[in-house]
Amino acid sequence: MFPESAAEGNVDAFVQKLHMGTCPKCQGSGPVDVFTAHQVWSALFLTSWKSTPQVSCKSCGTKSQVQALLFSLVLGWWGFPWGLIMTPVQIVRNVRGMLRTPDPLRASPELERLARVQLASQQAA
């Protein structure tokens, strides 16, 4: 194992490289960060909702959020009572996510957490 300070420096360098690298989805320029798309669908008494994080550039993140928003607008309302409750919640969460702009100089805590998990799984393998 690495000494504590060397391991932390290794993580910081990996996070910074990931943040300033190219988008894994479109190969466009960064900054790259974590963007979460929130979706809901309903049918009568059955409602299902999910939040899907993805590591990407702002453009790809916004595209996923718009798709999830439109999906929820069309298919979210049809369940009682949760479809009527969760559809506006997921729509607002998508709009908030679309309005968020990642810091070009610093990775978000979510990106750092995902980078730590990825490094740990690489070291375990």
Predicted confidence at residue 110, as pLDDT, reads 94
Predicted confidence at residue 24, as pLDDT, reads 95
Burial annotation 70-102 (CB, 10 A radius, 16+ → b, else e): ebbeebbbebeebbeebbeebbebbeebbeeeb
Domain region containing 58: 4-124
46-65 per-position pLDDT tens digit: 999 999 999 999 999 999 99
- Indicate whether 13 pLDDT > 50: yes
> CB within 8 A of 97, min separation 6: which ones?
35, 36, 37, 38, 61, 65
Predicted confidence at residue 120, as pLDDT, reads 86
How many CB atoms are closer than 10 A to CB 8?
A: 11
Predicted confidence at residue 91, as pLDDT, reads 98
Please count the structural domains in the chain.
1
pTM equals: 0.86
Distance between CA 119 and CA 69 in Å, rounded?
Answer: 32
